[in-house]
Structure 1
Amino acid sequence: MASSSTKRSPKAQGHLDTLPAPTAVVHRRKGLLGTLDRHQIDGPLVIILAIIGTYLVFPNSFAKKFLFFQEYDAATDTYEKSWYDLYFLVFWVLTFTFLRASVMTYVLMPTARRLGATTERSVLRFAEQGWICLYYSCSWVLGMYCLQLTPSWNNWLVWFHTDQFFDSYPLTALPLITKYYYWLQFSFWIQQMFVLCIEAPRKDFLAMISHHLVTASLIICSLVLNVTTFGNAVFVAMDLADIVLAFGKCLKYIGMPDMICDPIFACFMVIWIYTRHFLYGYIIYAWTLHGGEYYSRITHWGIIGLLLVLQSLMFFWLWSIFRIVYKMFASKGGVVDDRSDDDESPAVAPEHIHKKQRS
């Protein structure tokens, strides 16, 4: 028989039944990395507002360098590359950190619950993949537009002219929209590495951080070597598959049936093989064929090495994709992507998300 201290009235009991279930155990890094994880919204926001506020009060102050590109050439209506571009990079790394955490916490997680996600892990994964889908959808469309402004654009079957990647070499000056696109992409990849390091690691952490490091290295090399057309081509070849995969995962996390999710995964497989192996292989071929005409032997083969490392990582994930398909047919069930699950079963979320849930 329960003691009187544990008895509750039917009214009180009904009220307790309406409370949300306790969230999963939170696993997060400790120390400085954990602190950065807990302040992904308020930390960057303070700095962003300080920069914008300083610019509004003092338009010609140093804050202007964070918000706008310098070194404008009115004769060609382009912007030359400059060390000041690094200010822009820092500002947008902070901005993407704030936007990702805010959109996940206040838009995507509530949306996941309304659409039927039943566990906190599904809610969190939906938010992560929803952000990826949103960003890459925008970046791919803008990247294809910028690519079509260059002579390297071919057609919608084979996107590139291999003999046109070095047209107008060296490309030290870029149109405003192209420069914005390139440096926003650079900022995004730096921010992705930052998030990987401060949030709890996943099973494929080493593969992901290796992929991000190689990608960032190739971006830096393309800027230093003045071949941003190559970088633009790599961006669009990589982004399309991530849109479809992230969208399919979102549907899976909200409980959509396999008859909907499996065709999307099949579409993703086709896009992955075409863009990340055929088209990206075409880019490697173009550099191998023409890069030696413009750079030293060490530089030429160094870039080839980075490109091949990235391709080898793509083959590693292709093997994972085939393994998922095998499991799907062997178990006669739907697609289950376990490549980026946590090391342990409880959900892992940034601290700012858990603060929102507890409130």
Structure 2
Amino acid sequence: MAIDTSSPPPPSVMELNACVTTASHRPVKVTTFREWVVTHQIGISLTTLSMLLAIHHLYPSLSPYTTPFFQLSYYQPSQGVYIQGWDDIYFVVSSIFAFTAIRAIAIEWFIQPLAMWIGLKRKASIRLAEQGWMFLYYAFFWTFGIYLWSQSNYWMDFKAIWAEWPARGVSGSLKWYLLAQLAFWLQQIFVVNIEERRKDHYQMLTHHFITSTLLASAYIYSFYNVSNVVLSLMDAVDLLLPLAKILKYLGYELSCNIAFGALMVVWLVSRHILYPSLCWSIFKDVPAAMPYGCYSGTTAEMISTNGYPDQLTHLFYPFLDLDGPICMNRTVKWLFLSSLLSLQLLSLIWFTMVIRVAIRVLRTGNAEDSRSDAEDEDEEEEVHVPKDLPNGSPVSVSTEVSSAEYRRSNGPSSVRPRGRIDRKALLGRIGCDKPT
């Protein structure tokens, strides 16, 4: 019987093992803790809140401990107002989990799928979804804050802000507004550390720390009114900024230009005219409207004209005992004023960057937002082996790069070198033209 020697011999066991071993040694991407948190933030937040809610309803004896997580504490029926207390911390904690879940759900389940459905690429859809959430948040809280301010006795009258201090009573709506805003800014510290870092990471982190510390301290010191005014002035800009970015990603250049122009005007008026006027009121009006001295934490009546009963401890009286005395003096005034001025400094730095970009656009038509990271909206391109190559021919790294560069330079959607950012990259994260 003849043996056919024309066909190649079957592969040996060692050769098969070598193929399997080579295929199994592909690099496996290790998930970092940050990525794990981002992936599971909805589950973590909803599970935590669900467990608290289940304990609250299944174990009535524990309701005194779980109720502060879900409703405002320290209601005074005789006066119809709320006062502050340490149980407010539980409400802030549950609000942080709630904001984390709501933000992730809004971005991942609704806004980003909608953005991809209308044709945006993955990175652009993520950016639009993030800005969409910020727009929704500020659309509600800026409107609510302005409503509270407009219904108050200090509407557009900064001197009247200090008239009722240090009264501890506050309406339920204003208390919920202040605690929810505090929870949001604490949650923003979490967000800025789990997202991809951008050029202004430390500036934003500093801003969030200052804002959170200022809000918490002002709440404990019963500076409810000034907190409402500061948040309303700041939120006006934070409402228009994501709107301009959304219009950019959607490609509505004219509408985005209008929104960006409105942003600059509102930024100038709210943050660099009205806000410094508020700071001037603190410097000028506080000594007259809030005489220096120590006041009772329960009756709000002055108990001593000496605003410095000791060297340092009096600054922490409201933190140590909410029913104890609360003192007003030059040190307290300048601590709060310096914190507000530090926010003004950050706003000036950012506004200067925006003005530089706007001037560059008017002069040359070229712009790059110096606050932005490199926002490459193009996905990583897959390099395919040309069909006319022999089967199994190796393609070197240089060949892949050359192929990609050829497509970039000759393809229908040409990508410009990094050194030349033209009008189509207008303002990066703030810009109005849809980048190509």
- Quick check: TM above 0.5? yes
Contact 1:201 1:343 in 2 (8 A): no
Aligned to 1:77: 80
Report the Cα distance in structure 2 between the residues aligned to 1:196 and 1:171, rounded to whole angstroms: 36
Give 1:257-336 correspondences, 5 Å limit. 258-292=253-287, 293-294=291-292, 295-332=328-365
Contact 2:124 2:377 in 1 (8 A): no
The answer to whether structure 1 residue 239 and structure 2 residue 235 are counterparts is: yes
Aligned to 2:68: 65
Aligned to 1:3: none
- Percent identity among equivalent residues? 28
Q: Secondary structure at the match of 2:82?
A: strand
Equivalent of 2:146 in 134, 144, 147: 144
Report the Cα distance in structure 1 between the residues aligned to 2:95 and 2:202, rounded to whole angstroms: 25
Which ranges in structure 2 are unaligned for 5 or more consecutive residues? 1-28, 293-327, 380-436
Report the Cα distance in structure 1 between the residues aligned to 2:113 and 2:350, rounded to whole angstroms: 31
Aligned to 1:52: 53
Report the Cα distance in structure 1 between the residues aligned to 2:30 and 2:106, rounded to whole angstroms: 20
Larger RCO, structures 1/2 (Cα 8 Å, 6+ apart): 1
Aligned to 1:209: 205
The answer to whether structure 1 residue 100 and structure 2 residue 100 are counterparts is: no
Report the Cα distance in structure 2 between the residues aligned to 1:109 and 1:201, rounded to whole angstroms: 20
- Looking at secondary structure, tell me which structure has more helix per residue: 1
Report the Cα distance in structure 2 between the residues aligned to 1:282 and 1:57, rounded to whole angstroms: 52
Equivalent of 1:250 in 246, 250, 274: 246
TM-score by length of 2: 0.67
Contact 1:28 1:34 in 2 (8 A): no
Q: Which has the larger radius of gyration?
A: 2
Report the Cα distance in structure 2 between the residues aligned to 1:226 and 1:29, rounded to whole angstroms: 45
Aligned to 1:190: 186
Contact 1:122 1:254 in 2 (8 A): no
Change (3 A) 1:342 1:48: farther
Equivalent of 1:339 in 357, 368, 371: 371
Q: Secondary structure at the match of 2:86?
A: coil
Equivalent of 1:88 in 74, 86, 91: 91
Report the Cα distance in structure 1 between the residues aligned to 2:98 and 2:362, rounded to whole angstroms: 43
Contact 1:104 1:131 in 2 (8 A): yes
Report the Cα distance in structure 2 between the residues aligned to 1:69 and 1:261, rounded to whole angstroms: 40
Map Cα deviations across residues 77-112 of structure 1 (whole Å, 9 max, x no partner). Answer: 111101000000000001001111110001110121
Report the Cα distance in structure 1 between the residues aligned to 2:188 and 2:227, rounded to whole angstroms: 18
TM-score by length of 1: 0.81
Which ranges in structure 1 are unaligned for 5 or more consecutive residues? 1-26, 154-159, 348-359
Report the Cα distance in structure 1 between the residues aligned to 2:210 and 2:187, rounded to whole angstroms: 14
Change (3 A) 1:114 1:337: farther
Contact 1:171 1:228 in 2 (8 A): no
Report the Cα distance in structure 1 between the residues aligned to 2:214 and 2:135, rounded to whole angstroms: 23
Aligned residues: 311
CA apart distance, 1:338: 5.3
Change (3 A) 1:62 1:279: same
CA apart distance, 1:48: 0.9
Contact 1:65 1:88 in 2 (8 A): yes
Partner AA of 1:130 in structure 2: G
CA apart distance, 1:174: 1.1
Q: Secondary structure at the match of 1:174?
A: coil
Change (3 A) 1:265 1:79: same
CA apart distance, 1:49: 0.8
